[in-house]
Structure 1
Amino acid sequence: MLRQAPLAGTALLALALFALNPPGRALAADDVKVGVLLPLSGPVAPIGQNNRRGHALAIDEVNAAGGVKSLGGAKLVIVDGDTQGNPKVGIQEAEKLVTQGVAAILGAYQSNVTFPSTQVAEKAAVPYIDPVAIADTITEGRNFKYTFKVAPKASWYARDQLKFIKWVGEKSGKPIKRVVLMYEDTLFGQSTSKGQEASAKELGMEVVEKIAYPAESPDMTPTISRIKQIAPDALVLVSYIADAVLITKTMKELGVNVPIMGTSAGHIDPAYITNLGPLAENSFTVGEWNPDLKKKGAAEIAARFQAKFGVPMNGHAAETYMSTMVLVDALERAGSADRAKLREALTKTNICGERNILPYNCIRFEASGQSPEGQLVMLQVQNGKFVSVWPPEVAAASPVYPVPAWK
C-alpha cells in the first residue's frame, strides 16, 4: 500500500496512514504526543514503515505496562509526519508536528531530511531524537541544544566496515588491497563515502575509484561494466533499497564476481533478501544490530516484534525501539512532558547494560548531542537471512569468504 501511495493519490495515502495508526480510544488530556517523522509514502516508504514499527512496539509495550509512571500513567500516542522522502516536505511536516504539541520528534531516517528538520526543532525548542540518520553533520559543528543522536556517525560506519574488510581479507589469507567506493549522490552517500575513503587509506587499502550515481537510477549497466573492468578486491556500496537490489541484479547479469560490502540502508532492509532471493546470498553489510547478537534481550525483543508485525526485526527497527525507550526514560526522570524539562533530562541519559539491546554498553549524549559509544556489526546473508559475522566477540557465525562466484 505504501509503495503505491505517490501514484494513487491522497485517498490511498490517507488509507495507508489509517492502517499504520488505527483508531483507538480518544486522546486523554494527559496523553503524551510523540512526533514520528518518517517517509510513509514515496520510494523509501517500506523502510519508513519498518522504522515506525520499532517506535510502535516500544510505545505499545510502555502503554501496556501502565504508561509513564512519573506522569501518573500517561499514555504515549504517535503523531505521524510523512516526509515522503523529500527534505522540503520533511521541513513542513516537522513544523506541523511542532504546532500539534508533540513533546518530542523522532526521525527522520534519511540524513538529508533529518538535517533540515532538526533545524525546525531547534528553532522551536523541541527535543529531536535521531534514531537512524547517520550523517556526521547532523551533530557536528552546529551547537544545537535540542538534537540527540542515537545513530552512530557515518564515519563510524566506515571505520568499522573497513576494519572488517581488512580483517576478513587477512583472516582468509586473501588480503583486500584495492576497493571501489560506489555511493548514491545525496548527503548520506557523500558523507559516508568520505569516511570510507579516509578509513581505507588509514588501513592501507587503495581506493582505485569513487563512483557517485544519482539515487534511484533506472539502469546500472554502464557503472557495473566499469567496475568489471577495474576488477577491485571489494565493492563498497552506499545505497537505498531500490538501488541496492538493481546493483546486485546487474552484477549477476554481467558476471561481476566482486564481494558486495553494503552500508546498512538498502543492504540491510529485509526487502533486499525478499526481492533478490538467492542473489542476495553472501552479500555483506555493516549494520546496527541483529537478533542473533550475543546481547541479552535482543532475541526476546526480536521475537515480540516478529509476533506483532509478521516480519523480522532489523537494525533500524532496533534503533527506533531503543530511541523511543530513550524518550520514555527521559519522561520518567523529568516527571514532565514540558519540552525544556525533557531536553534537560535527555542530556543526562545513561541507558546501559541489559537496558540497551544495541551492540555496545551505554546510550548517552555528549554536548554535541551524539551518543559516543556506537559500535557497528558486520552481517552476511547466509541461507537466506542476515547473520552477524563480526566482531567475533558478539558474532553468531564466521563469514563465508572468499565469496563464491555467481552460479
Structure 2
Amino acid sequence: MTEVSKTQRPFCALAGAVLSSFLLAAGLSACAPTVAPPPPVSQPAPPPVVTPPVVAPSTPVEPADTDIRVGLLLPLSGPQASLGRSMLQAAEMGLFDVGGDDFKLVVRDSATSGGPAAAAREVLSDKADIVLGPLFGAELKQAAAPVTAARVPMVSFSNDSSQAQSGVYILGVTPESQIARVVGYAARQGVKRFAIMTPNSTYGRLVLATYQEQVVKAGGTIAQVTFYDPKSPDLTVPVREMADAYKRSGFDALMIPEGGQKLRAFAAMLPAFELPTGLVRLLGTSQWQDPSVAAEPALVGGWFAAPAPERFQSFAQRYASLYGSQPDPRAGIVYDAVTLAVALAQSKEGGDFSSARMTDPSGFAGVTGVFRLNADGKAERGLAIMEVAPGTFTVKDPAPATFAAVIN
C-alpha cells in the first residue's frame, strides 16, 4: 500500500471540504430566480475635433487719397522771380483763408529750363485736379497743350484773351472787358463821337478793334484813329495829328490805352496843341490806376474801368500786414483763382471741376469783384468806373455786385 505522509492528509480533507461547499453553493444558485443585469450607463460622445481654418496674413489697406490737388504755375526763377514769389504769397493767402486740410497746392516754376510745358506736365504727374496759371500769355500758349490733352481744366492769370479756349479760362482783367465797360458808361453819359490814339502793336490793334466794336454797339461813331510807334521817343507827331482832327470836326471823348510816364507825357502835351482836355473826356484802361497818373492835371476828370477798389484795398491791407509790402494788382487775380478752386472743390465730395460748374452763370465773387467764366474760355467781369481826381481816384460808377443785371 502507498503510504501518505503526514503532510498530505490535511490537504485532502481541506480539498474535500472546499469541494462540498462549492457544490452546495452551486445547488443554491440553480434554484434562485433569474435577474437581468442593469443596462450599461451611456457616456456622452466626445465633441468633434474642429480644425481651425488657415488664415493668410492680412495686407494693410491704404486709406483712400481724397486730397484735392491744385497745380500752380508761377515764374519762381529768372527775371520775373520776384513777381512770381509775390503771386505765390497771394495764393498762400487764399489757401489759408478758405482752404481745408485736404486741399493741396502743387507749385512748379514756369521759368525752369524745361519751360511752362514741362512745369505743366509735372503738376499733371502729381494728379492735379485743376491747374492755375501761368502768369503770361506767352507761357500759357506752351503750358496749355499738355493740360488740355489731359482733359484737366486750366485757369490762367493772363489777360490775353486770344489764348482762351474750351477748358482754358482767362482770369486776368482783359483790355476788352475794360473798354466795353468804359465806352458803355460814356455813351450813357451822352458821349457820341469817339477818338482813339493807340500804339501800332498787337495790343494796340486789339484795343482798336474792341473800341470800334463797342462804340458801334453803344450807338456812337468813331471820329478819329491815330496810331503811334510805341518805341519812338517822339510823341509830338501823334498828338499833333489828334489835335488837328479835333479842330477839323471835333469829338467828345479820346481813348488813350497807355500808362505810366508815356500816358502823362501824352496828357501834358494835349493842351499845348490846343486840344482842350476840359471839353474832351479822356478815357483809359486800368493802366491808369497808378498814383503818378493822378498827379497829372490834364488827366483830371478822365474815366477808366478797373476792379472794385474797396474789395482790393481790403485784400491789399491784409497782404501788407502779412508780407510787409504792397501787392501787385495781379496778386488779387491769383488769390481769386485759388479761392475759386476751393469753391469748386467744396461743391461736392471729391470736387466738381466740370465745365458746367465752372461756367455757372451766377459767377463767383472775389477781391477783384464778381466774375464768371464762359464756355469759350473768356471771362466776364463786374468793373467799376473810376474818375481821376487831383491826387487820387474816385468811384464814378460802382461795380455791380452780381450778374443779375447786364454788365456794360
Bin of the TM-score, shorter chain as denominator length: 0.5 to 0.7
Report which of the two structures shows the higher radius of gyration computed on alpha carbons: 2
Distance 1:235 1:343, change over 3 A: same
TM-score (norm 2): 0.63
Work out the CA distance in 2 between the residues paired with 1:166 and 1:357. 28
Distance between the aligned counterparts of 1:354 and 1:348, measured in 2?
9
1:81 aligns with 2:110: yes
**Cα-to-partner distance string for 1:314-359 (whole Å, 9 max, x where unaligned):** 76443332122223333455877xxxx8853784465969953444
Q: 1:243 to 1:342 in 2, by over 3 A?
A: farther
- Corresponding residue for 2:305? 287
Provide the aligned length of Structure 1 versus Structure 2: 323
Q: Residue 395 of structure 2 aligns with which residue?
A: 388
Q: Secondary structure, in 3 states, of the residue corresponding to 2:388?
A: strand
User: For 1:179, what is the secondary structure of its paired residue?
Assistant: strand
Identity of matched residues, %: 15
| Aligned pair partner of 2:101 in 50, 57, 69 | 69
Structure 2 gap ranges (5+): 1-66, 402-408
**Residues 8-407 of structure 1 aligned to structure 2 (within 5 Å):** 33-36=71-74, 41=79, 49=83, 53=86, 56-63=89-96, 68-71=100-103, 74=104, 76=105, 78-82=107-111, 93-101=115-123, 103=128, 104-109=131-136, 114=140, 118-119=144-145, 121-123=147-149, 125=151, 127-135=153-161, 137-139=162-164, 144-151=165-172, 154-168=175-189, 170=190, 176-231=191-246, 232-239=251-258, 241=260, 243-251=262-270, 254=273, 256-258=275-277, 259-264=281-286, 266-268=287-289, 270=290, 273-274=291-292, 277-279=295-297, 281-282=299-300, 284-292=302-310, 299-308=313-322, 316-332=330-346, 343-344=353-354, 347-348=357-358, 355-360=365-370, 363-372=371-380, 374-391=381-398
Name the stretch that deviates more: 228-237 or 351-360: 351-360
SS in 1 for 2:378: coil
Give the CA deviation at 1:236: 0.8
Give, in whole Å, the separation in 2 of the partners of 1:310 and 1:386.
24
The answer on whether the counterparts of 1:237 and 1:261 sit within 8 Å (CA) in structure 2 is: yes
In the TM superposition, what whole-angstrom CA distance separates every residue of 1:10-51 from its partner, at most 9, and x where no partner exists?
A: xxxxxxxxxxxxxxxxxxx9985511259974xxx69x93x8
* Match of residue 9 from structure 1: none
Q: Cα offset for 1:237?
A: 2.2
Separation in 1 of the partners of 2:233 and 2:146?
33
Alpha carbons 1:252, 1:279 under 8 Å: kept: no
What is the CA–CA distance in structure 2 between the aligned matches of 1:39 and 1:304, rounded to whole Å?
A: 26
